[in-house]
Amino acid sequence: MRTDPSVFGKVAVLMGGSSAEREISFMSGRGVLAALRSQGVDAHAFDPAERPLNELKKEGFTRCFIALHGRFGEDGTVQGALELLGIPYTGSGVMASSVCIDKVMTKRIWLADGLSTPRYVLLRRGFYSPADVVGVPEILGLPLIVKPAREGSSIGLTKVISAHQMADAVAQAAQLDADILCEQFISGDEVTCPVLGTGADARALPVIRIVAPEGNYDYQNKYFTDTTQYIVPCGLPAGEEAAIQQLVLAAYQTLNCRGWARADVMIDAATRQPYLLELNTSPGMTSHSLVPMSARADGISYEALCLAVLQSASLDHQPAPAPLGVSA
């Protein structure tokens, strides 16, 4: 049965923001805004980089769809402000959002729970020496990946083929973050798997296999070219796809995520072991984005997906009811 759009009230689609992914956030937000309006939702664009968040309360917004990506949107900061304002929002809460934006902290939790993720070395700006940088390939082998610990969309990421590239790769990542993640490179199939729902009701959607030009799934090939192939159904053996879905669901639940998210996974070509790379708590919703693609393969239209995510909007801490005899 279709939900009456009036139950959502006045909805702000948060887009833009001040992260390095501002451009992508606008692409996501505009798609979501158009979809919600097409379904009769009273939805409006809101850019937190241009307007203070307390205007949401002043202007009577009752729910927020977060289409922000990266810092100051996906990292718990906006979520915390909305908690204080008492306005339910889409996606994970403050703690889960702040953990998931940090790829190193995410790995530590996954490893503590016995979930597979590539080996890594953390370099912290101001604490590592040239010798530490040179020594990373000796620990992780080559090739390896160097990236900022708290950026998305492959921004600042370098695939290091030779030890001579290490200093430049680390310097590039250090321009974006004080924490630089050096990660074991897993050679094999690259896949992604979204999750919808919360707690015991959460479920993994179909896995998408990604085939990028020369295996380079970078910022350009993610958003601005049509040469990357997205294969869904993924073509993996049924048991393999089910194992990835089970792993991703465990990764989502152990981090206490809610609403929706998308996990990126590499499958080792030799062993067929899947390795978790990261979990995005505010996934892209552009024309090239993967959650809508996976949802469509599951029979869920873009518009229905946006409505389902909006319906899941909530707060970490619901306001307590006023005591009897006391007016709010």
pLDDT, one tens digit per residue, over 229-261 is 999 999 998 899 999 999 999 999 999 999 999
Model pLDDT, residue 189: 95
* Residue 305 belongs to some domain of the structure: yes
26 has a pLDDT exceeding 50 = yes
Answer whether 47's CB lies under 8 Å from 15's CB: yes
60 and 133 assigned to the same domain: no
Measuring CA to CA, which residue among 246, 249, 256 is closest to residue 98? Answer: 256
Strands of the sheet with 179-184, listed across from one edge: 120-124, 179-184, 144-148, 158-160
Answer whether 251's CB lies under 8 Å from 279's CB: yes
232 and 141 assigned to the same domain: no
Q: At a CB cut-off of 8 Å and minimum separation 6, what does 274 contact?
A: 116, 191, 240, 243, 244, 247, 265, 266, 267, 268
For the question of whether the overall pTM of this predicted structure is more than 0.85, the answer is yes
137 and 192 assigned to the same domain: no
Model pLDDT, residue 328: 42
120/216 Cα distance (integer angstroms): 20
Biggest alpha carbon–alpha carbon distance for the chain: 72
* Residue 289 belongs to some domain of the structure: yes
Range of the domain at 83: 5-90
103 and 239 assigned to the same domain: yes
204 and 161 assigned to the same domain: no
325 has a pLDDT exceeding 80 = no
Q: What is the DSSP letter of 236?
A: S
Confidence at 43, pLDDT banded by 50, 70, 90: very high
296/264 Cα distance (integer angstroms): 18
Report the sign of the C-alpha dihedral through residues 160, 162, 163, 168, in that order.
Answer: negative
Q: Percent of the chain, pLDDT > 90?
A: 85
Model pLDDT, residue 238: 87
At what angle are helices 166-174 and 130-140 packed, to 10 degrees? 110
67 and 105 assigned to the same domain: no
Residue 155 belongs to a domain with what CATH number? 3.30.1490.20
137 and 103 assigned to the same domain: no
Last residue of a domain, one of 154, 184, 214: 184
85 and 151 assigned to the same domain: no
53 has a pLDDT exceeding 50 = yes
* Residue 24 belongs to some domain of the structure: yes
User: Which of the residues are catalytic?
Assistant: 21, 153, 223, 262, 264, 278, 280, 284
Three-class DSSP category at 32: helix
Model pLDDT, residue 94: 98
- Quote the number of domains for the chain: 3
Could you tell me if residue 265 is left (phi over 0), alpha (psi between -120 and 50 degrees) or otherwise beta?
beta
180 and 213 assigned to the same domain: no
152 has a pLDDT exceeding 80 = no
Q: What is the overall mean pLDDT for the chain?
A: 93
Q: Which whole number is the average pLDDT over 8-17?
A: 98
Residue 294 belongs to a domain with what CATH number? 3.30.470.20
CA dihedral defined by 97, 103, 107, 113, rounded to 10 degrees? Answer: 10
Give the CA distances from residue 65 to residues 41, 53, 195, in Å, rounded to whole numbers and listed in that order.
12, 13, 17
Residue 39 belongs to a domain with what CATH number? 3.40.50.20
82 and 199 assigned to the same domain: no
112 and 217 assigned to the same domain: yes
